[in-house]
Each structure stands twice: as structure tokens, then as C-alpha cells.
Amino acid sequence: MCEVEATADLLLMTSQKPSLATAPEAAQLPAEALLVRAFLDGDRESFSTLYGQFAPLVHGILLARVPRLEVEDLVQDIFLHAYRKLHTLRDAAAFGPWIAMIARNRAMDFHRCSHEMVEITEEHASDDRGRRVRAEEILDVIRSLPEAYRETLVLRLVEGMTGPEIALRTGLTAASVRVNLHRGMKKLREQLGIEESAARAQSEARE
């Protein structure tokens, strides 16, 4: 039920224009549009600025959908695609939603074309190895959540974006992002709680 609602929210919100965003968000919109126009006028450096601003968004969207080791290459591919096709973007201010949609489509293509893959975790000798392993586990739990929740949660918890930033970059409304964050976090807590209780039960059984 929640999944259906969230998907409907996503569909509704993606159709809305970024101009409906709140005032502080709207103040940031012209910057993207200016960068896109500057790039189309021949300024290649402006695309690097766009890349710096939107790479975390694309990274987060991909991380919620494809194996982590594939994400870096896909981010590069998506920005190369955007570099070639940016002249087809009608509304320069909608660069964020546009590239987010490309990333989602590319993730779907990845699953369609790729065979079953086994993700190999990197061997790190550093102290944060355990933390990384734990992060991978939590990420797997997030990936099992409904799509609308998983993307928003990854952008918030992994990429460190705030709710208003997520709304601005993805083209969703702030209300939709807030609902997705709240419900997604609740589900994540439930899943992690279930896992923790299962682990406790296992350890108790061993003892």
C-alpha cells in the first residue's frame, strides 16, 4: 500500500516543474539554467561545474539500484551522455530532474542487459573495514525497500543531502520528499530491528 502511494507521489511530483519549489530553492534554480546556457554557448567549463554539483545525485540514484562497484563507471557514462545530449534539454532549469531520469533509466538498462552478478567486496586493510561491511549490509536493506523510499534515503543518509536539496535536485516537491523520508526511515528501522532481533536470537541459540 505504502509502495503504491509512494510511486504515485513520485509520478505526480516528477511531472511538476521546479518553479513550484519554495523560495530558497527557487533562488538556486537560475544557476543551473545559466550553467546550461553557458555550456550550450560553448563554455565547456560550465559543464564541469554542473558535474560537480549533480554527480552526488546521480551517484545516490545509482547506488540505490545497481551494485556499488558499477556505480562509478555509470556516473561517468551518464554525464558523457548528458554532455552529448544537453542541447535536447528544453527547460535549462530542469537539468537536475533530467539527469536524474537518465540515471534511473540507465540503472534499469543495466539490470536488463547484465547477467546475474556477484558483488565482490573490496578487501581493505584499514580500520574502517568493519564499518564498510556494515554500510554494505545497511545498503542492501535500503535496496529492499520500495523505490521511492530507497532513492530518497540513499540521497539523505549516504550522499548527505538535506530534504530541500533532494527536492530541488530531483524535481520532487518538498512534501513528497518529506513523506518518503519519514516512511522510508520507519521501514528501515523496522527492517534493521528485525535483523538485529534475528541476530540476537541466533547468538542466543548458539550460546
Partner 1 sequence: MNDDYLWDRTGEPDPEIKELEEVLGTLRYQPQPLELPAAIRPVRERRYFPSLAIAAAIVLMILAAGLWLRVHRSQTRGQYEIVNRQPPSGDKSIQPVAKASPASSPGNQFIANDPDQSSSKEEHRKRRRRAASPANSFARKVDKQRVPSEPTVAISPEQREAVAAAKEQLMLALRLVSAKLSLAQRKTQGPLPGNIRNQHKVG
Binding stretches for partner 1 (CB under 8 A): 39-42, 44, 47-48, 51-52, 55-56, 59-60, 63, 68, 72, 75-76, 79-80, 83-84, 86-88, 128, 131-132, 134-136, 138-139, 154, 156-160, 162-164, 178, 181-182, 185-186, 188-189
The nearer residue to partner 1, 30 or 160, going by C-beta atoms, is 160
CB of 84 to partner 1, least distance (A): 6
- The Cα 4–Cα 138 span in angstroms is 23
Query: Least separation, in Å, of the C-beta of 92 and partner 1?
Result: 11
Q: Specify burial of residue 151 (Cβ count, 10 A radius: 0-12, 13-18, 19+).
A: buried
C-alpha span between 164 and 177 (Å, rounded): 8
Q: Name the residue nearer to partner 1 (CB basis): 7 or 48.
A: 48
H/E/C letters for each residue in 10-72?
A: HHHHHCCCHHHCCHHHHHHHHHHHHHHHHHHCCCCHHHHHHHHHHHHHHHHHHHCCCCHHHHH
Q: Distance between terminal CA atoms of the chain?
A: 40
Cβ at position 127, least distance to partner 1 in Å: 11
Instruction: Name which of 19 and 162 has its Cβ closer to partner 1.
Output: 162
Count of Cβ atoms closer than 10 Å to residue 45 Cβ: 10
Whether residue 19 contacts residue 26, with contact meaning beta carbons closer than 8 Å, is answered with yes
Minimal distance in Å, beta carbon 12 to partner 1? 20
Q: Based on CB atoms, which residue is closest to partner 1, 52 or 112?
A: 52
Given the complex with partner 1, which of 101 and 138 has the nearer CB atom?
A: 138
